[in-house]
A and B are shown apart, each in its own frame.
Chain A
Amino acid sequence: MERMTVAKAMTECLKAEGITRLFGYPGAAICPFYDELYKSDIEHILVRHEVNAGHAASGYARMTGKPAVCVATSGPGALNLITAIATAYMDSVPMVIITGQVNSDQIGRDVFQEADITGSAEPFVKHSYLLNRPEDTAEVFKRAFYIAGTGRKGPVLIDVPCDVQKAEIDFEYPETVEIRSYRPSSKGNGFQIKRAVTSMLEAKKPLIIAGGGLFTGNGAELMRKLSEKLDIPVISTLMGLGAMPTDSPLYYGMLGMHGCEAAKCAVNNCDTLILLGARLSDRTSSPISRNNELVVIHIDIDPAEIGKSVAANVPIVGDISIVLGQLLEQLNSVEPQQHAEWKNQLDESRVDREPKPVEKGFVNPKWFIRELNKYLPNRSIAVADVGENQFWTASNIELKNGRFLTSGGMGTMGYSLPAAIGAKCAEPDAEVIAVCGDGSFQMEMPELATCVQHGISVKVIVMRNRYLGMVREHQTNFYGNRLYAVSLDGSPDYTKIADAYGIENMLVESEESAKEGIKRLISSDKPFLLEVAVPELIETIL
């Protein structure tokens, strides 16, 4: 036990949780805590808008697998975080959010910069605390980290009134935590595991759908083992991209609204579907037609996801890495399987369209991403924004033990640069590339300053088509081509913007210059901005 202020105790809690860095934006109501950060070894990365503190923490957490921390002040600061909280919640990203609050005796009186942040964020958090009793500090932090980082991971918010931060307490961080109403399951039910094994062995046309849960649950490698042992083809959701190396012969691409033919063929023809940490959102499951013969084995940490989108014959609730371990153990004595005929059928459905040549002065984005692949080192991290750029990247990027990050569930524009900043902080030695559109870039542009100020060498690729491309395409296809409020006329010269920040940059308008641009981008060890001129009316699916 040691006597200290709550603010100091908060930094001690963070240290105990192994937090060495956080992302934030200060204000008066959180100043007591900032004053303790100042005295601590914890590094504070100053973003330029609170939402980006949230996205940066998200990128960081997705790389480390552990809860990352972001901080904001009361009222507008906290409210600015909400989109990032919701974005993290949708993609099951572990995060602890700390917000300042007005003094506890003023709560509920509409005082300056008061916002009910626990109430406003309620639909988007796994849990939240209003820390109004100073003596609860240690317990609340311990619980918050435990809840955020276990089970189906997600954001947990701690709102701390300014007077509470200044209060003195006897502090000791608990070693263990026990919440009687929260006991995430870990092992899969033995009976269901046996049933799953039987179904997998009986299957003539088995198929694995790899979801984002393989990353949050650390199961990608075991999934590959399972796939290889039983010769099971794998397709991926947007969030699961990279769980299977994209160059594996057993990999048949991404499923979903913007997915590829082979993946659609696979899902429509398989007889046994193994869902691994995939919740099958509406954008993913639309091409799945459920027939009575299809056997669905659904493995997920969250029981509420099982049976929500697709009825499951074999439901298994558990930690994906533990469940995959259980399955592999059962398969120990089984001979490796062969599904040559099934794979042949799928191989025939693979379509690889060469990128078409485009008008002079422009670069085909599909060609560009494929060219970029040639230079990307192993373990690179690609962060795609939202829009056409997201699917040009998702469909063409080669992931060699690297990662692909994007805002899948919420589709939040402006995610890529701040998330890339977070990812780069977590993996300073990896090449981290943010790919965005000119629309999304203008939402996150101020974060270039964060890169410069903190020496974070993120590479930014702006796919400039002078339109909110994906919405433009939607209007073209479904609203009689009445293009409205989608032109980005009036936008700045992006290379000049980079210049203004002192960031190296280049505009590329031909394949020739693009090759040079890619080389410069990869060889730079500083932040770099590459503006790629893509044809204005180019489609998502190329």
Chain B
Amino acid sequence: MKHTISVLVENHAGVLARVAGLFARRGFNIDSLAVGVTDDVNVSRITIVADGSDYTLEQIEKQLNKLIDVIKVKTLSPESMVSRELVLIKVSCSPKQRSEIISICDLAHGKISDISANSVTMEISDNAQNLDTFEELLRPYGIKEIVRTGTIAIQKGEAAVTVRS
């Protein structure tokens, strides 16, 4: 099972290494990882998508909480979160194919970020599943390069994962 975990940490050097090291040495699999600062410059948020049983998830949460620099750990339930990844996709594109590709991009609510004689680069932010579909639609044109961020996620409604909550 995939779990999306939102982790607030002190914004110190070495924190990411500690978190990543913990996953590696305890045999927890990381599917994706995204780090960014929060509204408080002293606090960063690490969003981790990890794979494992409920037992593994419980251990991940508990072991993360033991790291001194970890302020808060919260697993977000799939039903009550909005999750996004950003992808940049560069596909081969002859001038003739342009309008076709642009319409696929529009369909996916993407944006054209760059165009050259024989390629087009698009950016789309969506959940992982929709991005996969989009990728498949573009595959026949010849994908030159894909750059994907890790997943970030936020709870729906008024709930928030913050230092104070």
Contact = CB atoms under 8 A, between A and B. Distances in A.
B163 A180 contact: yes
A482 interface: no
B126 interface: no
B63 interface: yes
A180 B164 CA distance: 10
B59 A122 contact: no
A304 B17 contact: no
Nearest to A303: B62
Interface stretch (B67-75, B109-117, B130-138, B146-154): B67-75
A302 interface: yes
B153 to A, nearest CB: 21
19 contacts: A118-B14, A119-B17, A122-B17, A122-B21, A123-B25, A130-B14, A147-B68, A180-B71, A181-B9, A181-B10, A181-B68, A302-B66, A303-B65, A304-B62, A304-B63, A304-B65, A307-B55, A307-B58, A308-B59
A62 interface: no
Nearest to A302: B66
A132 B129 CA distance: 44
A123 B21 contact: yes
A305 to B, nearest CB: 9
A459 interface: no
A182 B62 contact: no
B68 A126 contact: yes
Contact of A122 (B10, B18, B65): B18
A181 B69 contact: yes
Interface string A108-122: 000000000011001
Interface string A125-137: 0110010000000
Contacts of A127: 68
A179 interface: yes
Contacts of A304: 59, 62-63, 65-66
Tell me which of A123, A181, A182 has the highest count of chain B C-beta atoms within 10 A of its own C-beta. A181
Contacts of B66: 152, 302, 304
Contacts of B63: 304
Interface in B32-70: 55, 58-59, 62-63, 65-66, 68-70
Interface string A145-185: 00100001000000000000000000000000001111000
B29 to A, nearest CB: 18
Contacts of B62: 303-304
A118 B17 CA distance: 11
If over half of B's interface residues share one DSSP class (helix, strand or loop), that class is named, otherwise mixed; here it is helix
5 nearest CB pairs, A to B: A304-B62, A181-B71, A127-B68, A182-B68, A303-B62
Contacts of A302: 66
Nearest to A127: B68
Interface string A34-60: 000000000000000000000000000
A99 to B, nearest CB: 16
A44 B101 CA distance: 74
A147 B65 CA distance: 14
Contacts of A147: 68
Contacts of A118: 14
A123 B55 CA distance: 21
Contacts of A303: 62, 65
A181 B68 CA distance: 6
A154 to B, nearest CB: 10
Interface in B1-27: 9-10, 14, 17-18, 21, 25
Interface in A61-109: none
Tell me which of B17, B18, B63 has the highest count of chain A C-beta atoms within 10 A of its own C-beta. B18
B17 to A, nearest CB: 7
Contacts of B65: 303-304
A354 B74 CA distance: 57
Contacts of B9: 181
A181 B69 CA distance: 6
A126 B59 CA distance: 17
A297 B9 CA distance: 32
A170 B9 CA distance: 29
A390 B25 CA distance: 29
A313 to B, nearest CB: 16
Interface in A520-536: none
